[in-house]
């Protein structure tokens, strides 16, 4: 039997957005604008043998600079999920945006292996990542952390597909960022796909509507196809920023902000 995990989504931040901010070229749909809440999550896959954290949240400073509401910092959010940083074996970064890598310092003093795709690392540490429409989604100091981790031999760079651990697989899909990854987790009742920002909102998948922040539109559409196929095959897809995650998976929370994706 393959190894299985319990999966949690930890909601550590939120903001009020609008459909026109969220969806690429929203005017093309000829619909009135509407308010749309945006939640900020990271994810946990754990079993008795191992705890893996997928993404780390934004830092208090980078969240505040963008007007986001931080509900819990990374340490408090981990604690809410019942995790101490030094218990974490691996940290997967689905991409390098500020709201996914900003909590990394919590893990720099631990032995955790940090994993991201090579394409993502190369893009953001290279010249194109500094162009205006890209750079505002990252923090230069946080990209320096990635460089330092790499130099220290702490950062594993993954290819298109990478086995993180038994029952845990990273798949690069691109689109939102050049090396955007999703993580598939073996769980009781079937696999869970942590889509992160390959699918911010279920509406992207269900109405085929790309998100406004995009590195390659054709890749984003192709990622929708790939993730839909995973869903059609029985996987539970967890969107990266959608308040519907709490509705679709919520039940009694383990703690405020902790949504249990898997229930035995």
Nearer to Zn ion, 186 or 215 (CB): 215
Nearer to Zn ion, 72 or 215 (CB): 215
At 109, phi and psi to the nearest 5? Answer: -90, 5
Element (H, E) at 196: strand 192-196
**Tally of CB atoms within 10 A around 240:** 30
Q: Segment contacting Zn ion (CB under 5 A): 32-40, 153-161, 190-198, 230-238?
A: 190-198
Q: Segment contacting Zn ion (CB under 5 A): 19-27, 46-54, 191-199, 244-252?
A: 191-199
CA 112, CA 106: separation in Å to the nearest integer?
10
Interaction of residue 197 with Zn ion, rule CB under 5 A: yes
Nearer to Zn ion, 156 or 196 (CB): 196
Q: Segment contacting Zn ion (CB under 5 A): 92-100, 104-112, 139-147, 247-255?
A: 92-100
Contacting residue, 11, 97, 162, 241, with Zn ion by CB under 5 A:
97
Nearer to Zn ion, 222 or 253 (CB): 222
* Count, residues near Zn ion per rule CB under 5 A: 2
| DSSP per-residue string spanning 98-127 | HHHHTTTHHHHTS-PEEEEEHHHHHHHTSG
| Smallest separation (angstroms) from Zn ion to the CB of 97 | 4
Nearer to Zn ion, 197 or 242 (CB): 197
Q: Is the CB of residue 91 less than 8 Å from the CB of residue 115?
A: yes
| Smallest separation (angstroms) from Zn ion to the CB of 122 | 17
- Give me the residues that bind Zn ion (CB under 5 A), please: 97, 197
């Amino acid at each position: 039997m393959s190894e299985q995990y319990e999966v949690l989504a930890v909601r550590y931040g939120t903001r009020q957005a609008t459909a026109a901010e969220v969806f690429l070229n929203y005017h093309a749909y000829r619909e009135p604008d509407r308010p749309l809440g945006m939640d900020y999550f990271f994810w946990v896959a754990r079993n008795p043998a191992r705890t893996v954290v997928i993404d780390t949240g934004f830092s208090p400073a980078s969240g505040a600079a963008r007007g986001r509401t931080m509900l819990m910092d990374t340490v408090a959010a981990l604690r809410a999920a019942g995790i101490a940083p030094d218990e974490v074996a691996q940290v997967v970064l689905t991409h390098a945006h500020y709201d996914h890598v900003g909590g990394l310092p919590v893990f720099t003093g631990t032995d955790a292996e940090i994993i991201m795709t090579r394409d993502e690392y190369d893009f953001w540490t290279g010249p194109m990542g500094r162009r205006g429409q890209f750079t505002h989604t990252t923090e230069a100091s946080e990209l320096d952390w990635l460089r330092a981790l790499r130099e220290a031999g702490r950062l594993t760079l993954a290819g298109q597909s990478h086995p993180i651990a038994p029952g845990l697989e990273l798949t690069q899909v691109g689109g939102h960022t050049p090396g955007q990854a999703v993580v598939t987790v073996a769980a009781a009742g079937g696999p869970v796909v942590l889509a992160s920002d390959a699918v911010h909102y279920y509406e992207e998948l269900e109405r085929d509507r790309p998100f406004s922040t995009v590195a390659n539109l054709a890749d984003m559409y192709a990622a929708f196809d790939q993730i839909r196929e995973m869903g059609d095959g029985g996987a539970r897809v967890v969107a990266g920023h959608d308040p519907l995650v709490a509705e679709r998976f919520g039940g009694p929370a383990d703690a405020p902000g902790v949504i249990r994706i898997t229930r035995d």
